[in-house]
Structure 1
Amino acid sequence: MEQTNDAFPARRVDITTRGGQTDIEIDGTRIDPGAIKAYSVSHLAGERPEVLLHVADRNDAQWSGIARIAVADLPDPGPAAGVFLDAIDPEALERAALARPDLGTEPYSLTKAMLTQLGEWARGL
């Protein structure tokens, strides 16, 4: 049985993605892509799906209508970064950095290669 709430009518949301480009429409009205920096979709059984839009700059964004709004601070990445770095094998990092095809000969090139390697590992590459 679908739950309805007449105070907050359901809205039609269309999200179309092509490569890195995303178009979002709400009830047929296109949202400026520059106004949105991220979005998430969630759906719990027996409830309406929810779309959370993260606006890029609240000063320039103009919105009208009814919405449930959630404001949250971004989590501190420090603890997760610490756990990630604690799991790195220094020997494996050095081997991977020295084997990189983009390893240069200028000062700090090994440090740069290690940071690039760590970034790729963090992204699962």
Structure 2
Amino acid sequence: MDQTNDTATARRVEIRARGGRADIEIDGTRIHPSAVKAYSVNHLAGERPEVLLHVADRGETQWSGMARVAVADLPDPGPAAAVFLDAIDPETLERAALARPDLGAEPHSLTRAMLTQLVEWARGL
């Protein structure tokens, strides 16, 4: 599989495991339990999680063999944003916002400049 464009091949996967049984859906379509022999979930920090399905060779199954499925759900940005914001020195942020060439004189322009500055820092600019 070509890994250069993960967005085009990403799928939404939901697994509900109970005891020795698991119900699996891919993009909202239920996979028959007899079609999957095993599955594993792997997630390395900084990379997209992967679900590896080991499928049984069944005659009426829509697919057979092995399929690599990338989980498309994005993680909650809240915790990462909190860590980022905790690291911001308020004095440095204020100085940077006041020095911006796009700082206006209208209401809330300082807040807008600070938010723009934070976005730029978050993007590494």
Work out which structure has the larger RCO, using CA pairs closer than 8 Å and 6 or more positions apart in sequence.
2
Q: Which has the larger radius of gyration?
A: 2
- Return the TM-score normalized by structure 2: 0.49
With normalisation by structure 1, the TM-score equals: 0.49
